[in-house]
Amino acid sequence: MIDLRESWCIGPVEVPSRVVLAPMAGVSVQAFRRQGRRFGAGLVCSEMVSCAGIEHRNERTLGYLRVASDEHPLAIQIFGSEPRVMAEAARMVEAAGADLVDINFGCPVRKVTKTGAGATLLDDPERAGRIVAAVAEAVDIPVSVKMRRGLENGSRRCLEVGPQLIDAGARTLTLHPRSARQMYTGQADHALTAELVSLVDVPVIASGDITSRAKAQAVLATTGAAAVMVGRAAQGNPWALRELLEDRVAEPSPEEVVAELVLFMRETVRELGERRASGFLKKFYGWYLGRGRFPRPFKQELVRLESTADVEAKLFAAVPGARFTLSRIEAEQPMVEETLLDTMPISIYGGG
């Protein structure tokens, strides 16, 4: 049995467990990452950040670079197709306080790939290598790369490109062994992960279908990967992270579920502002309260409410004991400091 609570290193960065919380667009806000660290993720990642948005000092894009002291170690993920622009974005990521800069060569979404970014770069190894080299030269923190197996089903392009990216300066690779065409259908082929591990001399993170402790143990044992990355399984379900690390984890009580959801809501409102947060949070209600924890009609009622204050009141009315659980959780939280970049608009730190 592999102990997922063991620490490991990416260059000089020590990661305290072998569980990594994935970068997920529209999900991996600061509140999500901080919760993931609290539940045992050794490394957390931001959602992918547009290097063009950073270059043009877009206010919403810059908001993704806010870093709290209890997130470390943290990787901020950037995407783009121009080496010079990616290098400049990486400098901003380092200045924001990230421990790693992660490059996205895996996103399969059309609006990203049509710009020459994301998974498209696996079919342009020369440009991919120039991007990694430019980023590695621009920063002192380690560079990581997240990639798919290739664009088409059955592709083995990652085995060709991966070693080239290490030569260009990447200190770790994350492989999600599905093709871009597959999106999230079918099965992740971790035999490919094992092949990649055998080809490179840096830690490899195995991503895809890590849904249980048994699956995580099997993937680590059969691939030789250094860690596993958890994505969709942790959406609204931080207890999934704890389950990977501990032998036995009880199903959370209704009080725990509501307390964690309300804390997440409050942190998200602080981060995004009420207007953005109220829409952003709606998908989380179903994620937290699903899995048979609460009746479906109750979840649907929450989505129809206009404000997060109304949602919070409804949750506490349904589970009054959650107030005491929330007070206990909040009392255990450390004082948090945030990195403030001079180049960021002050409104980002006032919510919205």
CB atoms within 10 A of CB 247: 7
Dump strand ranges (E) for 167-309: 172-179, 204-207, 227-230
| Residues assigned a catalytic role | 107
Q: Which two tokens stand for residue 292?
A: 């048979």
Peptide bond preceding 297: is omega within 30 degrees of 0, i.e. cis? no
CB burial string 62-72: b at 16+ within 10 A, e below: bbbbbbbebbe
Nearest Cα neighbor of 108 from 41, 186, 218 is 186
- Chain centroid, CA 175 distance in Å: 14
Cα–Cα distance for residue pair 42/203, rounded to 1 Å: 14
Q: What is the DSSP letter of 198?
A: H
Phi and psi angles of residue 223, each rounded to the nearest 5 degrees, phi first:
-105, -25
